[in-house]
Structure formats: C-alpha cells, structure tokens
Structure 1
Amino acid sequence: MVRIIPMASSIRPSLSSFRLYGGSRLCPSLSSYNPSRRLSLIGSAIPQSHLFGLKASKLFRGESCTGVVAAGNAAQASTTATPENILEWVKNDKRRMLHVVYRVGDIDRTIKFYTECLGMKLLRKRDIPEERYTNAFLGYGPEDSHFVIELTYNYGVDKYDIGTGFGHFGIAVEDVAKTVELIKAKGGKVTREPGPVKGGSSVIAFIEDPDGYKFELLERGPTPEPLCQVMLRVGDLDRSIQFYDKAFGMELLRTRDNPEYKYTIAMLGYGPEDKNAVLELTYNYGVTEYDKGNAYAQIAIGTDDVYKTAEAIKLSGGKLTREPGPLPGINTKITACLDPDGWKTVFVDNVDFLKELE
C-alpha cells in the first residue's frame, strides 16, 4: 500500500501519480490521476537520468507536498489530544509490519529465485508502463495477515547500490542445511555455510539473492511468519530503541551484546519473534553513520490513525516526510517519516489498506 518510488515501488499498488524524485516528493496534478489504478503509496521509482550519483541523504530526504495534498488534513487531526494521551495511544494502536520495499535489477529473475529457492509465493504483480516500473509482492501468506516483500523494477535500471547500512532479511526454515543445498543447486550464492551462530546454538546460514541482498536462514520449527526479520544498522542503539518504543510503539524483545565481535543487536516488534516479523537493529562499536545506497527503500506499518501516529512521531523527535492525510484521488490515508538514522517508514491506515487489497 505504500509506494517507495521507482525507483518505483508501492505500499499499495498504485499511487503512481506520486513520485519520490531524488528523495523529494513532487505534487501530482489531479488531472494525472487514473482512478483505475490501485494505490501505490510511496513508490520507489526515480527517473533514470537522476538515478545514480544521488547521495543517500538526498535519495531518502522527503519534502511534503503542499496545496491539494495537505488540504483538509489539519481539520481531521484531533484538537483535544495531549502529548501524554498520544504517546499512550501508540501503545494500544493496532499495528503490524505490512511489507518491506526495495529495488531490483531484473524482477522476473528475482521472482524465480524467491519462489524456487526460498519457497515464497508470488501474490501479485503489476506493470505500470506509463511510469516505467513494475511491482511484485511475494511472501508466505496473504498480505492481510503476513509480512511480505514488495519488489520494484525500474525500466532500464539493472543495478542498485545496497550501501553499508542495510543488513539482511531473515527467513525461518525448518532445515537450514536442506535449504542451502537447494539454493546451491539453483545457482544461488551461499556466503555462510550452515552452522551454529557464534556464541550460541541456533543454526543459521547466509545467502545472497541475484541483486546481492543478504538473507539469514534461521532454523526454527513451524511458524506463522517465515519472513521474520529486517536488519538495519544504526549509529546509536539506545537512541533508536527509545524512538521505536515511543514513536512506533514497538516492544524491545531482547538485546545481545557481542564485545568479542564489537557489536550489539536489539530486536523490536509487535509480538514475539517466533510468531511475528521483527526489526533487528545492529550497532557496531564506534560506527555512527552508514551509506544507505539507493536499493533498500522502507518498511510499511499499519495503524488505526495516521494523524495520531504523525503526532507521536513529532513528539518523539522523528522527521515527517509526508504529512498525514488521504492521497489525492484516493481515500487511503498515510504518513511517512525518518528515524534518527534516516531509515524510512510509511504508516498506512488499517481499514484503507484492507480496502486496497480487495
């Protein structure tokens, strides 16, 4: 439902009239909206002539549209809410990680790899030739109940810079060794052979998809959410934990410090790791900034109220890149923000999201 722009992607399949151009949002004209399109909230499409050479800070910097986009938003926001009430409301909001959005150089090649090697299902695919991008949603169950992947292919762009900030995705499998053998047989790249994690007993392996995105395979029993992690690196772990707790209402599930290898991780989410997708934040000793590249885009999260969500983000020191409100020509309400490290998240109205899936 939310679109990162093509570089072209969407959180919902089609708000193609919105584009993040070099990271900034261009206001669309109403005449350009095609009501037959599904919502592509925050796409990942970027004009090819401007695609490369962009600094990560520019690519992910968003500026809110004014005028028609913002019209009426203030009237819909609550005027009686207090900061205390807003932050308390966040804890009780019905939130769920909906999907993660990123860009690939050959969407059919990636779909083939994910379905044949990782056991995902192609949930839907949509081509927008007038915008010169294609979207595909893949996962282990329907979008209304599972965390899924949204791929974006921008016509003519076959390579992206993943950068140093993005870490990996996590997939829970019942037999890591068998999964790795299958991936090898299909020509996949294994970067860490199956074996116990350093300092523990959990069996893991690491692989790379055709674009170089890393996947950690974690050996677990049956789980309702096999696509279980998104790992991002941050420059101040305590600051990030506080932000995701206050602004996003995420629970700190656990932390683990590894002084021998000079890093600390924190797992945050909306439920236990064995049943929900979680955010894994990694702090490497002494590293405060990372290059985010132009490949990874954002995570989408469902909320019951984008207006209250935006207020909580502001109160928690987050930066809004899209003021809360309905998308022009579509009633789906969204808001978008950056965390203290510049990682982007889009919040989507829960009811509107389900309508977009119909």
Structure 2
Amino acid sequence: MASEEAIETGVEREDLIDWPKKDKHRFLHAVYRVGDLDRTIKFYTECFGMKLLRKRDVPEEKYSNAFLGFGPEESNFAVELTYNYGVDKYDIGTGFGHFAIASEDVYKLVEDIRSKGGKITREPGPVKGGSTVIAFAQDPDGYIFELIQRGPTPEPLCQVMLRVGDLDRSIQFYEKACGMKLLRKSDNAAYKYTIAMLGYADEYETTVLELTYNYDVKEYTKGNAYAQVAISTEDVYKSAQAIDLVTKELGGKITRQPGPLPGINTKITSFLDPDGWKVVLVDNSDFLKELEK
C-alpha cells in the first residue's frame, strides 16, 4: 500500500497530505474519442478557431491522435482527440457535460459556426438569472461546447464540465488529491442544480474544472467517448502516495501505479475520482521533453 511505502521511505504522512498543495499543477489536456479525426480537426479549426498543434499515428496500436488548442501546449490547455481505427461512433453518456470556449463576441462566433454548417443548440443571450452572454454549439460527434462571452483571456479553452453525485465530496477530493482551489460555488434552486468551479488560478485566466450536482441525482452513465483530463505534477510517485490516502477517505482508486510509459518514457500515474472520472497526472519535465521531440 502507498501509505506503507511512505513509512518505508521515511516520508511522513503529514508531508504527503500537504504535498498536492505544494506541487506545481497545470491542466494539460482533455482526452476524448472521435469517429473521424480529420472531420473534427476541420470543425475545430474552422468553426472554433483552434490550431492543430500536433498529430500522430500509431498503426501498431491502431489509433491516431491530434492535439488542438488556442496556444502552445507548453503554456495552454489542449484537447487530445483519439481516433481508433474502424470506430466511427461513441456513446457520450449522461455524466459528461461540456467543454467551454471564451470569446469576446459570442454572437459573431455563433454566426461563424452556423455559416460553416455547425449546429447551435442554444442561441446566444444572457444566462438565465444573470447577465453573462452564452451559447451552446455541438461538434460532429455530439460533444457540447459552451461559448462564453468575456474579455481578452490567455486561455480561451476555459472549462471542462462533469456531473457528480455528491458535490461537497468531489470538492474535497480535488482539493486534497490534486491541490485544486475552490474558486466559487453557486446554487440555482429554481433549476435544481449546484455548480463548483475548481482550478489553479482565476477562472477568467485559465482552464477550470466545473462540477455540477443536479438535485437528487447520485449516478450518471459514463459512456465510452470522454476519457480523462491530464494534469502536470512535479513528482508522480509522491502524488500517487498522496492520492492513495485521499481515496481511502473519500473514495476513488488509483488505476495506474506511477512509472514511465513504454516507448516514450514519460512518467504518469492515473486514478478515478469518487464518481469514476479519470485523471492522469503527468511528470511536467517529461511532458516538456515529449513536446520537443
């Protein structure tokens, strides 16, 4: 067990508990599966204005990847699209919510998306009960993107929204396991849901995790489309030990013990949160070396 290993290596329990808050974290990318890689790349670049950052084909494993975003991966969040040979459709499930893109002019962005054949599922306008202008668009695989009007930002790809069955438990989990900060929490009793924004910096400056609790809904289907979010760490081994302690308290489990990935040698560890959402922690220095190749 990780806690026993901590004793064996002389790492104090309190040090492990504090480690996630001291660690240097950054959201790296969200990973999900698509049915036609070139079609999605075309949609994201033409409709959303993303850039294709890199693309790779792994024929021996029968899949291809593409990374897209609004800035270089060294500093910005990205989406990692995965195409598995011969699979053209996936089930998104009921648990995954949306990604979000910040824009200075949502009305114009919606016009651009529509003119290129994109599907708008909510017309632009103020959010119910507020003044923020939003809209919703759907990509070719059915993933929803919330379009949020706000001023200039260094990170337009600004949210990953997931639904959870116990919001307070999830907040505690991400604070303790990943060192995230609760940026804000708001309840909308009229529509019977509560949201929490968590991350590593102000939500107007960087990517955040938006957790949504719908009253009295404890479980959701995961489907097989959305995979995980990746976050950087300075030490995957110490992080795994800390996460192991948190899972014993709040639920979830480590699904991949820390160590290098075969072939590329990037060190990672992965785990599930109490709702079964997967997170991968990636050694930051290894990740930067990987980008240089």
State the TM-score, normalizing by the size of structure 1: 0.78
1:77/1:307 contact within 8 Å kept: no
Which 5+ residue runs of structure 1 have no aligned equivalent? 1-73
Q: Report the residue type matching 1:96 in the other structure.
A: R
Do residues 323 (structure 1) and 233 (structure 2) align? no
Decide which of 78, 100, 103 is 1:173's aligned counterpart.
103
2-structure distance, mates of 1:170, 1:77: 42
SS of 1:316's equivalent in the other structure is helix
1:171/1:215 contact within 8 Å kept: yes
- Residue 92 of structure 1, CA deviation: 1.3
- Residue 130 of structure 1, CA deviation: 2.3
Deviates more, 1:306-315 or 1:249-258: 306-315
- Residue 339 of structure 1, CA deviation: 0.1
2-structure distance, mates of 1:289, 1:77: 36
What does residue range 130-279 of structure 1 map to in structure 2 within 5 Å?
A: 130-279=60-209
- Partner deviation per Cα, 1:225-252 (whole Å, 9 max, x = no partner): 0000000000000000000000110000
**Identical aligned residues as a percent:** 74
Do residues 89 (structure 1) and 19 (structure 2) align? yes
Deviates more, 1:320-329 or 1:189-198: 320-329
- Residue 133 of structure 1, CA deviation: 1.1
Deviates more, 1:318-327 or 1:166-175: 318-327
- Residue 331 of structure 1, CA deviation: 3.1
- Residue 83 of structure 1, CA deviation: 1.9
- Partner deviation per Cα, 1:66-95 (whole Å, 9 max, x = no partner): xxxxxxxx9999812222111212111110
Do residues 341 (structure 1) and 271 (structure 2) align? no
1:312 alignment partner in structure 2: 242
Decide which of 221, 232, 235 is 1:291's aligned counterpart.
221
Change (3 A) 1:335 1:101: same
SS of 1:260's equivalent in the other structure is helix
- Residue 177 of structure 1, CA deviation: 0.4
2-structure distance, mates of 1:106, 1:187: 16
1-structure distance, mates of 2:266, 2:101: 30
2-structure distance, mates of 1:175, 1:311: 45
- Partner deviation per Cα, 1:296-355 (whole Å, 9 max, x = no partner): 000000000001110111111130000112234543211000000000000011111111
2-structure distance, mates of 1:330, 1:258: 46
Deviates more, 1:322-331 or 1:143-152: 322-331
2-structure distance, mates of 1:78, 1:140: 44
Q: Report the residue type matching 1:347 in the other structure.
A: L
Q: Report the residue type matching 1:277 in the other structure.
A: T
Do residues 350 (structure 1) and 284 (structure 2) align? yes
- Partner deviation per Cα, 1:62-121 (whole Å, 9 max, x = no partner): xxxxxxxxxxxx999981222211121211111000000000001111000000000000
1:300/1:348 contact within 8 Å kept: yes
Q: Report the residue type matching 1:90 in the other structure.
A: P
Q: Report the residue type matching 2:14 in the other structure.
A: E
Change (3 A) 1:150 1:329: closer
1:303/1:349 contact within 8 Å kept: yes
1:59 alignment partner in structure 2: none
- Partner deviation per Cα, 1:243-296 (whole Å, 9 max, x = no partner): 000011000000010000000000000110011100000000000000000000
2:6/2:241 contact within 8 Å kept: no
1-structure distance, mates of 2:287, 2:176: 24
What does residue range 7-86 of structure 1 map to in structure 2 within 5 Å?
A: 79-86=9-16
- Residue 128 of structure 1, CA deviation: 1.7
**How many residues in Structure 1 have an aligned counterpart in Structure 2?**
285
1:78/1:308 contact within 8 Å kept: no
Which 5+ residue runs of structure 2 have no aligned equivalent? none
1:193/1:205 contact within 8 Å kept: yes
- Partner deviation per Cα, 1:18-50 (whole Å, 9 max, x = no partner): xxxxxxxxxxxxxxxxxxxxxxxxxxxxxxxxx
CA RMSD, 1 decimal: 1.5
Change (3 A) 1:275 1:282: same
SS of 1:182's equivalent in the other structure is helix
